[in-house]
Structure 1
Amino acid sequence: MSFTGPGAGAPDYAPCRYGASKLSFRGPAARLDQPYWAMLGGTMTYGKFVEHAYPALVARATGHTVVNLGIPNAGVDAYLGDPEVLAIAAGAEAVVLQIPGAQNLSNRYYRVHPRRNDRFLTARPLLRMLFREVDFTEFNFTRHMLTELRRVSPLRFERVADELRAAWLERMHALIEVLAVPVTLLWAGENPPPDGGLDMAADPLLVTRAMVDALRPATAAYAEVIISAEARAQGTEGMLFSALDLPAARLLPGPAAHAEVAAHLAALLAR
């Protein structure tokens, strides 16, 4: 475990922006005037609590410029709503898209923040009618809200889950189409995509094997990296975080997991 004390110990993420984009990314900013690969995704792509995230490790292993466009807790909406970032990704030789969860997108039942997609903004009338007994002012985050809805009524929750899965598939197809460059879908986690069932602590949440398979024909490649038991056993070893961030760090992949993902992607992209 690596931490120094409250308010200290986290890596210097050197936050940067590209062009007119309102989104902030992990820096230092990459050069866009030479051939590059772009990597889109969530918290792991960003590299929270690790000194070198897998995009940086891929760059080091291959000598190729890699633009890290990861956003902590990203949903599809953050990318589709930012023309500047879409243009950067579309200008890449290839894109790696870490598969996001389906909870962090606006839909017929609720709205999320346009950039911080894990932030729950408001329930739409359809959701208020479906869960009349729930006070939606209590929720700030999508996962918390959905977990409570499932507790209240698993049957009614499934209607919301079906809507989220359908919206996710539609927008993922839209994102891949608008990029118009070879896209590698990346599944990186402790387990492969589930065939069924639902673990509300899973990441990506609500995404099944069938959903991934439905996207694969539109992509150039699919990388499924299951983090080894050895890497998982290292826990927070080698991670950088403050004492206050320990609970969050325990939930995220460490340096060994990033190294495994990077090795897989470097071999795939260098072909």
Structure 2
Amino acid sequence: MSYQSINADGSVETTCTYGASKLLYRGPQRALERPYVACFGGEETFGRFVEAPYPSILEHRLQRRCLNFGSLFCGLESLTRDSGLLELANQSELCVLQLPGLLGQTNRFYRVHPRRNDRFVAPTSELVGLYAEIDFTDVHFVRHLLSRLKAHTDARFEMIEQELRKGWVERLGTFLRKVKPPVMLLELKADHHALGSVSDDPVTLDTSSVEVLVPQSAGLITLHVQVSGASDELEDMLFGTLQQPIAEHMIGPATHRRIADALNRAIRDLGI
């Protein structure tokens, strides 16, 4: 099943579903004919506002079917809880997994929406007790929540960070053990002084957390990227007038080509 999401300014983004997964993926829908390389991730893998995201470029580079299972707002929660997604992974011959950030996961301090992992649903009683001075009623997004907590700059926030890092390693490790084909990990790192969805989280991945997962994978590719608002790629993106502020936080087509080139070399080296 597929449909088109029409924005207020008339621009169109096509999404679709696959199998039993409840997530909306980059469209148009393609047949799940084997063999295929499965590319999982969030908005960078989805390729919002670009005509050719890195999975489609990688398909041409490899001369192998590469299916784009990028989903907007997909974080750790969706990735590790959606049984249909795991089935799509296990039907492939190779997976590319864009590593999710730390924030989009339900934990002992707060709950996130099961599919829109950027959405803050509610604090737990433990978080309310820890930050008794904060009113959470006007907080709707996880990034806003963590930014507000971090502004207090005391030892309490270290507890939040530790919980998120621990949950991230444990849940991704469990996920990787359930995936039967080889998994190539893709880490996109941005200049922390540049604006962008891949660079401005209040809590970011550390090297030690990522390295724990490498032995359970076929390899790790780490790329430093810039969002279009901090580079010269904005003019090459496809968006309506009202969407420019969002487009500035996305990576552009040249960056997608660079990601595809790096993946192409790494996958060919695997000899799979």
CA shift at 1:92, angstroms? 0.9
From the superposition, tell whether residues 229 and 178 of structure 1 become closer, same or farther in structure 2 (CA, over 3 Å): closer
CA distance in 2 between partners of 1:103 and 1:256 (Å):
27
CA contact (8 A) 1:102 1:205 kept: yes
CA contact (8 A) 2:40 2:70 kept: yes
From the superposition, tell whether residues 45 and 87 of structure 1 become closer, same or farther in structure 2 (CA, over 3 Å): same
From the superposition, tell whether residues 204 and 178 of structure 1 become closer, same or farther in structure 2 (CA, over 3 Å): farther
Which residue matches 2:259?
Answer: 261
1:209 to 207, 210, 216: 207
Which residue matches 2:126?
Answer: 126
| Deviation per residue, 1:199-252 (Å, 9 max, x gap) | x95369421011111111111111112237999631412111122211111111
Determine which structure has greater relative contact order: mean sequence separation of CA pairs < 8 Å that are 6+ residues apart, divided by chain length: 1
Paired residue type of 1:7: D
| Deviation per residue, 1:70-105 (Å, 9 max, x gap) | 122321220222211111111111111111111100
From the superposition, tell whether residues 169 and 269 of structure 1 become closer, same or farther in structure 2 (CA, over 3 Å): same
SS state at 2:185 partner: strand
CA distance in 2 between partners of 1:15 and 1:203 (Å):
26
| Match runs of 1:140-155 below 5 Å | 140-155=140-155
CA distance in 1 between partners of 2:69 and 2:172 (Å):
16
The number of aligned residues is 259
Moved more, 174-183 or 229-238: 229-238
Moved more, 200-209 or 53-62: 200-209
CA distance in 2 between partners of 1:161 and 1:230 (Å):
29
CA contact (8 A) 1:51 1:240 kept: yes
* Structure with a larger share of its residues in strand: 2
CA distance in 1 between partners of 2:231 and 2:123 (Å):
40
CA distance in 2 between partners of 1:244 and 1:229 (Å):
18
CA shift at 1:6, angstroms? 6.2
Identity of aligned residues (%): 35
Which residue matches 1:197?
Answer: none
Which residue matches 2:157?
Answer: 157
From the superposition, tell whether residues 232 and 264 of structure 1 become closer, same or farther in structure 2 (CA, over 3 Å): farther
Moved more, 178-187 or 141-150: 178-187
C-alpha RMSD of the superposition: 2.4
CA distance in 1 between partners of 2:230 and 2:114 (Å):
33
Paired residue type of 1:189: K
From the superposition, tell whether residues 228 and 252 of structure 1 become closer, same or farther in structure 2 (CA, over 3 Å): closer
CA contact (8 A) 1:100 1:204 kept: no
